[in-house]
Amino acid sequence: MKNPNSQDNPWLIALYISGAGGLLAVYIVIGFLTGKWLAEWLDGPRYWLAIGTVLGLFIGILNIALLIKKFLGAQSE
């Protein structure tokens, strides 16, 4: 009989994927708010909003890539 593995559950895989999308959105919003706060606090230019948003996007993508690497590593074992 096959040993049931929690990684084989399709609902768990769907939860990981939807969680990754939500996580990316959170990082983008945090980057936007940080850029807005810095622009107001230091009287900086408005393009700091864009820099904060793009930085949040890149950090979110990096975090999702690490999450996928961890998930795929657990799949192969």
Write the pLDDT tens digit of every residue in 35-60: 999 999 988 888 899 999 999 999 99
pLDDT tens, residue by residue, 10-23: 787 778 778 888 99
Distances (CA, A) of 13 to 9, 19, 58, 66, 71: 7, 10, 23, 15, 9
Distance CA 63, CA 65 (A): 5
CB-based contact 31:56 (threshold 8 Å): yes
Distance CA 28, CA 43 (A): 22
Distance CA 25, CA 52 (A): 13
Q: What percent of the chain clears pLDDT 90, i.e. is strictly above it?
A: 44
pLDDT tens, residue by residue, 20-40: 889 999 999 999 999 999 999
pLDDT category, 1, cuts 50, 70, 90? Answer: very low
